[in-house]
Structures are given as C-alpha cells and as structure tokens.
Chains A and B, each alone.
Chain A
Amino acid sequence: MSYVALTYWDLVLASLLLLINGAISFGFRLNLERSLAISAVRMVLQLALIAVLLKFIFASDAFWPTLLFAMLMLAATGYEVASHQSRRISGWRGYALAGGPPFAAGLVTALFAVTAIIGAEPWYAPRFFLPILGMIVGNALAGAGLVLDTIADGANRERQVIETRLALGQSRFVAMSDIMRRSVRAGMLPIMSMMATAGIVAIPGMMTGQILAGAEPGDAAKYQIMILFLIAGATGLAVLSAACGSVLLMTDERHRLRLERLQSNGSP
C-alpha cells in the first residue's frame, strides 16, 4: 500500500456531500445554506493558503519565515480564544491573556519535542516544528479558553465570597483559590478524556492522516502517543498560567477584586 495523492476532481466529488447538508437546511428551513456555503469556502481557502505558505516555508527551510508563521499563529490564537469568551478582560490584556498561555506553553513543549525527542536538524526545521506547534497550541487553546470562561463566570457569580475572604485579610490567590482549582480542573478535563478514549471512540485525526499517507499503523500510533503527551504537558502549563493570569488581571496590586475590568461579549 502506498500513498495515494488526491486530484482536484476527488475533492469536488467529496464536496458533493455538502449538498446533503444543504438539502437538510432547505427542507427544515434552518436558513443555514448561506453560512454553510461561507464556512465551506473559508475552509477551502484557508487550507489552500496554508498549504502554499507551508510549501514556501518548507522549501526555504529558514528560521525567519518559520518564526513569522509561528507569530501569525499566536495572533490567531489570542483572537480566537478571546472572541469566544462570554466575559473577558477588556483591551489588549484580554487578548494577551487568551493567547499568551497556550502559545507559550505550546512553544516550550514544541521546542522540547523537536530538540529532545525528534532531534530535528536544524531544530527549527519547519516541517516538524510548525505542525507540532500548531497541534499543541490548538489543543492547549481549548483548555485555556475553558479556564478563562470558568474563572470569569465564577468570579462574577461569587463576587461576595471573594470579597468576604479579601476583607478577612486573605491574599488574592487564597481568596480565589476555590475558583482557580475549579477552573484548572475544567481546563484539564478535555485532554484527560482525549487520552482515555484515544483509539477507542475514534482514531485520532493525526494518526488517521499518517495511515492514509502510507505510514505503518505502529509508527503512526507512536507519533500519536508522543503528540498526546505533548498536548497534555502543554495543556497543563497553559491552564495553570491562564488561571494565575486571570487572577492577576481580575484583581489589582492592592488585592482588590476589579470585576469592572471584565466586559461581556455581546451575543454572537
């Protein structure tokens, strides 16, 4: 068995499946046809663009294009997480809090992977570094987003508890420790269930991709195991730093609760 490259005609064939969704939307008057078409077109254009960019970066095999691409990912990360929160810290700090922890955690773990585990040469070889970084950041982002949501909602709901504890002379981290613990837990749950169900409920996307691309299932599984460990480590780091960062930004240096720094995102 070897790798079978897809032709453009194959993709057109696959896209016919969207017609089913279109028919459902039309039949049940869901009014989803427009957004369905837009998301499908977006998906195709974005992936095509990424393919062109990556092709260029892989061909150059140089440091700066790799860094630039990673920076683009950072900006997208912050924007994605922040814009999906129901309550977020207003201003640029909100975006930094949303994007910083998952990206920093992803960067540290991806560097560990390419240097210590894979031993890529050079270490920034974009063919290894960028996909791994992307996969790790994408997952750490989900965990950090859960943390930010849980902690902002919790602080808003339990404002009186936090202020009572602050009034008793507790520091901001002690006063918010219950909420922090709850949010870190919420942020860790997805990766834990992902590890527990990997291979049972579904074969993970990356492993599927490698198998389709002709890799031995054993090799594909090894890569998948490594990636899941990396994701777990990065999620832990991202979740913890997102929780600490949230507490720091929702309080001030005098250990006062400053919930006016939160803004509600209007309904989408």
Chain B
Amino acid sequence: MRAEHIKIGTSPPISFEVGSGECLAIDGPSGSGKTRLLRALADLDPFSGRVFFDGAEQSEMPGPAWRGAVRFVAAEPVWWTDTAREALPPDEACRSRAVRVAAAIGLPAAALDQPLQQLSTGERHRLSLARALADNPKVLLLDEPTSGLDPAAVALVEELIRYRLLSGNTVVLASHDAAFSKRLANARIALGKKPLTAHAP
C-alpha cells in the first residue's frame, strides 16, 4: 500500500509505502491524528491525498470494495447485534475463519454465540478482531489493538498479527503500547501534536 501527501490536521503531508508482509507503526501523542490517518486509508472520511493498493487507486474503486480489502479495526468496537455470530458475513467460509481467528486469540467458539453484553471488554475487543478478519482482508489498519487486553491476550493478538504478516497481509498499526508496536513494526512514522485551538466550536 502506498500513501501520497495525506494531510491530517497540521502535520506536514504524509507519504509512505508499506509492502506485503510488512508492518508500519504510526506514533504520536493523543490527538495527533493517528485514528484520522487510519480512517483516511480506509476511505471513511474525505481527505486530501492519494492512496494506492495492489495497483489500484482508492478513488477509482467503489468504497465497499476498497474497505473489503483495506480493513479498519476501531479502538472501541461497537456491535449492532446480540451475538458476535450474527454480525458475521453469512458466507460459511467467513464464519469458519472467524471461529478459527477467535480460537487463535483465546476465545472458544461458544463465545460467538454468547450475548455480547455478558462478555468482558477484552473479549468483545478480541471478537471484533475475529469479525474484521472473517472475510480475509489484505490490509489491516489496527487502532489500539491491545486496549483492554491482559498480557496473555496481548501475546496472542501479537502472534495473530505476526501470522497475518507471514501470510502476506499488510498491517498499519497505531498503538500506545510502545513495546508491542516495536516488536511488530518494520517501519514507523510520527505525527505531530496539533496545536489546541483556543475556542471550541
């Protein structure tokens, strides 16, 4: 994936290239625009700049097709269903992949059928990873993938990301866990803090 001259807040334009099997970490303090950059890469907000993946430009692909390949996983997962399984694509291959991913990060298949309200924050967070990987996207844009997880679960998520990298995925990572992102990333970019405006709108 290649990004050219993406403008986020007051940071200078951002350009980078991250290949298949590589992991790019985005650093920067809170409010520096890490999430906005990831959302721009997933084409969730209008922004200035260009993004390419697999020879195609973002603006030339239909939004849903782009986001089918370039998957943004939010820091705070939200659900619109009672159980995780209902939120999965109906396709059988996707469903069994989600079950395998869930198992890899320490969740039994039964967790997919449990009411989400009865699960812990960490469990819901891991289920959102399983949901995001169900249809096998090529690029993962992970926003704080370890928030709310205990050290054992962090290790499992790290192993999952490593496995995805080995199988050719591209990962762009924004994490406050410096040690975690240092272990995974081949490259890093830093965003500056945007100056606080004196008056809120």
Q: Are B44 and A256 in contact (CB under 8 A)?
A: yes
| Contact yes or no, B63 A256, CB < 8 A | yes
CB-based nearest A residue for B131: A168
- Within 8 Å CB of A163, what residues of B? 44, 74
| CB-CB under 8 A for A161 and B80, given A167-B72, A169-B135, A255-B64 | yes
From A168, A178, A256, A257, give the contact of B71 (CB < 8 A). A168
Known: A160-B78, A255-B63. A167 touches B135 (CB 8 A): no
CA distance A252 to B44 in the complex (A): 10
B28 within 8 A of A: no
A197 beta carbon closer than 8 Å to chain B: no
Would you call B80 and A168 a contact (CB within 8 A)?
no
Task: Give the contacts of B115-142 with A (CB-CB under 8 A).
Answer: 131-132, 135, 137
Give the secondary structure class of B's interface: loop
Closest to A251 in B: B63
Q: How far is the CB of A166 from chain B (nearest CB, A)?
A: 7
- The answer to whether B65 and A169 have CB atoms under 8 Å apart is yes
Given A167-B72, A168-B131, A255:B62 Cβ within 8 A: yes
Given A164-B77, A165-B80 in contact, is the A170-B64 Cβ separation under 8 Å?
A: yes
A214 to chain B, nearest CB (A): 57
Assuming the A-B contacts A161-B80, A256-B44, are A168 and B67 also in contact, with contact meaning beta carbons closer than 8 angstroms in the complex?
Answer: yes
- Residue A34 at the B interface, CB < 8 A? no
A171 CA to B46 CA, complexed, in Å: 17
- A160-B78, A161-B80, A255-B62 are contacts. A168–B132 as well, Cβ < 8 Å? yes
Does A254 make an interface contact (CB < 8 A)?
yes
A-chain residues with CB within 8 Å of residue B72 when the two chains form the complex: 167
Specify which chain B residues have a CB less than 8 angstroms from the CB of A178 in the assembled complex. 80
Q: Does B45 contact A (CB under 8 A)?
A: yes
Q: Chain A, 247-262, contact with B by CB distance < 8 Å: what is the 0/1 string? A: 0000011111110000
Chain B: CB-nearest residue to A164: B78
Known A164-B77, A164-B78, A256-B46; judge A171-B71 contact (CB<8 A): no
Per the bound structure, the CA–CA distance linking A207 and B89 in Å amounts to 52
For B40-51 the 0/1 string (1 means CB < 8 A from A) is 001111100000
Q: Could you list 20 A-B pairs, sorted by A, with CB under 8 Å?
A: A160-B76, A161-B78, A161-B79, A161-B80, A164-B78, A166-B64, A166-B67, A167-B42, A167-B71, A167-B72, A168-B67, A168-B131, A168-B135, A169-B68, A169-B135, A169-B137, A254-B63, A255-B62, A255-B64, A256-B63
New A-B pairs, 5, CB < 8 Å, besides A158-B80, A256-B44: A160-B76, A164-B74, A166-B64, A178-B80, A256-B43
